[in-house]
Amino acid sequence: MKYRILWFIIVIPMLTGCWMSNQLDSQNHHNSGKDLSPKEVEGPYLSSLNKEITVAAIGDLLIHSRVYDDAWNGENYDFTSMLEPVAEYLEQPTITMANQESIMGGEEIGLSNYPQFNSPFELADNIKKMGIDIVTMANNHTLDRGEQAIDNAIEHYEKIDMMYTGSFKSEADKEEIRVIETTEGISVAFLSYTYGTNGIPVPNGKDYLVNMIDRKIIEKEVNKAQNSADVTIVSYHFGQEYQRTPNQEQKDLAQFTADLGVDVIVGHHPHVLQPIEWLEGKDGNQTLVAYSLGNFLSGQYELYRRIGGILEFKVSKETKGESNIKIHSPSFLPTFVSFERSGEMLSNIEVLPLKDVDDNQLSNASGYFEEMKKHLSQNVDHLKFIE
């Protein structure tokens, strides 16, 4: 896990014969014969201690066979070259989260393509190397290859020390809210839910295998998360595939979640980018909502399904007196899945910053970049784009 450490050094000069002594005396803060502690030197002399982290989220990792075929190097699967063009944007944030849409059950049960996916373990190794800290697993493909694939994926995540949420190995595992404690002193809790599993039934008595969208359960787990961490982020697999704007069901669930006081909502499933906005909760809180982050890495061909991105935002914590948490400064890096196509085969797959794509890779690339900026920011002021 990446951390940026902010050091605060407070120097309190000697009271005798120094400027601060005179100032303190003029402010009636001087108590003769008594050394002043930092708590007593308030007001203009010591500012509150502010801490800050950056959190990033990416869209769907949907690994079609044409993607893992391109990752095969003759000995193993290596997705590194596909992700290297955006590696710095994944590594720099304090925490980076990803939606692992295709279950990662490994080669032992056979890799597979749409409609029932199964991806190689090397994908997890590679995204961890690139800076991913936590994966969300609740989506419509979680049960594609059954309980064995889930168990295999979780066993490998635990082996490489990758945090996961949304799908679990047991009820006890599910009860443990995932929280990342940063060295900056800001803790972040993660929850993940899906609308369904493509008609595949959840095994009896094993609801822990995938978190379904259930408002009563969500409310209970959000309350638990809020008691465990400074910040709560909820990921939803919801919406209509390939629709570039959120539907009413998405909006209603987002508002319900904002009313619970959740700080950030990250959406997946439509496979295309949907606008970002702030919602006001019933208690006046502000919730940042990204309804869909689109595909980050997939084998889908259609243009808008090849455009995804990285959402970033800042979390500030004021530690003077009662802690005050603020989510602010959202920014976005649109990305593009570049490849060469021959029939159903893809080669030279790369995830590129859209700002760096030229017209040889995508005709009118700069025009699409401007279109994405307008599309994403239509409901929010001051959304910064990383250029």
DSSP 101: -
Q: Which region holds residue 255: left if phi is over 0, alpha if psi is between -120 and 50, else beta?
A: alpha
Q: Is the peptide bond before 334 cis (omega within 30 degrees of 0)?
A: no
Helices and strands counted in the chain (H then E):
10, 15
- Using CA atoms of 27, 28, 31, 32 in order, give the dihedral in degrees to the nearest 10: 90
How much is the pLDDT for 111? 98
State the pLDDT at residue 370. 97
The answer to whether residue 2 sits within a structural domain is: no
In-domain check, residue 25: yes
Give the number of domains in the chain. Answer: 1
Give a yes or no: residue 263 inside a domain: yes
Separation between Cα atoms, residue 233 and residue 307, nearest integer Å: 23
Give pLDDT, residue 360: 95
End-to-end CA distance of the chain: 25
The alpha carbon of residue 146 and the mean position of all alpha carbons in its chain are separated, in whole angstroms, by 26
Given this model, what pLDDT does residue 67 score?
98
What local confidence, expressed as pLDDT, does residue 2 receive?
57
Amino acid code (one letter) for 243: Q
Residue 1 lies in a domain: no
Using DSSP's 3-state secondary structure scheme, residue 374 falls into: helix
Asked if 273 contacts 375 with a C-beta cutoff of 8 angstroms, the reply is yes
Residue 110 structural domain? 7-385
Cα 132 to Cα 127, 229, 234, distances in angstroms: 6, 20, 17
How far is the C-alpha of 63 from the C-alpha of 295, rounded, in Å?
A: 10
Q: What is the CATH number of the domain that holds 241?
A: 3.60.21.10
Helix (H, G, I), strand (E, B) or coil at 128: helix
Unique residue bearing structure tokens 């980018």: 273
Residue 234 forms part of a structural domain: yes
Q: Is 196 exposed, middle or buried (0-12, 13-18, 19+ CB in 10 A)?
A: middle
Q: Would you tell me the crossing angle of helices 146-159 and 122-130 to the nearest 10 degrees?
A: 40
What are the mean pLDDT values of the chain's consecutive 10-residue runs (387 residues total)?
Answer: 39 36 35 31 46 97 98 97 98 98 98 98 98 98 98 98 98 98 97 98 98 98 98 98 98 98 98 98 97 98 98 93 89 98 96 97 97 97 92
Cβ neighbour number for residue 106 with a 10 Å cutoff: 22
Query: Is residue 198 domain-resident?
Result: yes
Measured from the Cβ of residue 92, the count of other Cβ atoms closer than 10 Å reads 14
**Is 238 part of a structural domain of the chain?**
yes
Amino acid at residue number 286: Q
Closest of 101, 14, 30, 9 to residue 63, by C-alpha: 101
The predicted model scores a pTM of 0.87
Query: Which of 351, 340, 347 minimizes the C-alpha distance to 68?
Result: 347
Residue 160 lies in a domain: yes
How far, in Å, CA of 188 to CA of 182, rounded? Answer: 8
pLDDT at 94: 98
